[in-house]
Chain A
Amino acid sequence: MKRSLIAAELVVGSLILLYIYAATSKLLDFGSFRHVLSRSPLIGNYAPVVAWILPSTEILISLLLILPQTRRIGLWCSFALMLAFTGYVGYMLAFTPHLPCSCGGVLKQMTWKQHLVFNITYSIIALLGIWLYQRPVKPETPVTHSAAFSD
């Protein structure tokens, strides 16, 4: 019981770390990030808007993950975002592999294939988090049914 709780906390912590790191890196080097986005064949036309939406979404999901009341929504959003990233990287890998990555910080050093594996791994981590938080919690003390049938 306690082990799964620690695992769930670690899953959430790793997702928050990823999103905060990625969002801050993008915002710290915003000009370069927007420029690389503008060269993307998929979202190049919307680069000025997407450049703001992407880090904002990452920060918003981090906030959802931090608050215990919204953690489950945050995990679902994380899973959806990681799936979207995986789809995007898959598309880029299939059609335009020569383009530089628009992610921030050290993540930029990864190749497209490494990125695909990284995103799939984080999608699985988010899914694991959903599973850990949706599992029914077993009661600590045994329930007696005698009271229900006493009348």
Chain B
Amino acid sequence: MKKYVICLMAVAIGIAASAFTVQKETKAKTGGVYKWFDFNGNLLTMGDPYYYSLDPDNWPDCLTMLGLVYCEIKCLPDEYDDAIPDLSTICAIRYRPLL
């Protein structure tokens, strides 16, 4: 146990220091405009905003209202990057056809 003392102390100090020094970016909450985003991934990547791209005509081309995999979503753009969606603000979804 004695040989782990320095290592464990380093781990503890590292975690404690990061907890006190991380400055989370404060997002400016502005009243954004909802936009349509096309989904380019699969079932497993639906939660990753980097698999979405801004719909050029900002209009839903998919018509299916029920399904498993997203086709398009309507939401606010990410506050850091307008090209990706903020998935916590989804207000409308169109799905890919099941058949």
Interface residues of A (CB under 8 A from B): 9-10, 12-14, 16-22, 24-25, 28-29, 31-32, 35, 38, 47-48, 62, 65-66, 68, 104-106, 108
> Majority SS of interface residues in chain B?
helix
- Shortest beta-carbon distance, B87 to chain A, in Å? 11
Partner of B6, one of A10, A35, A104: A10
> Majority SS of interface residues in chain A?
helix
Asked whether A21 lies within 8 Å of B17 as measured between CB atoms, the reply is yes
In the complex, what residues of B have CB within 8 A of residue A24's CB? 14-15, 18-19, 22
Asked whether B24 lies within 8 Å of A16 as measured between CB atoms, the reply is no
Asked whether A29 lies within 8 Å of B25 as measured between CB atoms, the reply is yes
Partner of A19, one of B6, B14, B17: B14
Asked whether A9 lies within 8 Å of B6 as measured between CB atoms, the reply is yes
Partner of A35, one of B4, B11, B19, B81: B81
Partner of A16, one of B3, B14, B17, B18: B14
Asked whether B22 lies within 8 Å of A25 as measured between CB atoms, the reply is yes
Interface residues of B (CB under 8 A from A): 3-4, 6-11, 13-15, 17-19, 21-25, 48, 50, 78, 80-81
- Shortest beta-carbon distance, B12 to chain A, in Å? 9
Query: Given known contacts A25-B18, A28-B24, A31-B80, what 9 new A-B pairs fall within 8 Å (CB)?
Result: A13-B9, A20-B14, A21-B18, A25-B22, A35-B78, A62-B11, A66-B7, A66-B11, A108-B23
In the complex, what residues of A have CB within 8 A of residue B80's CB? 31-32, 35
Partner of A17, one of B14, B19, B25: B14
Q: How far is the CA of A60 from the CA of B19 in the complex (A)?
A: 20
What are 13 inter-chain pairs, A to B, with CB distance below 8 A?
Answer: A16-B10, A16-B11, A20-B14, A24-B22, A29-B25, A31-B80, A38-B50, A48-B48, A48-B50, A62-B11, A65-B7, A68-B3, A108-B23
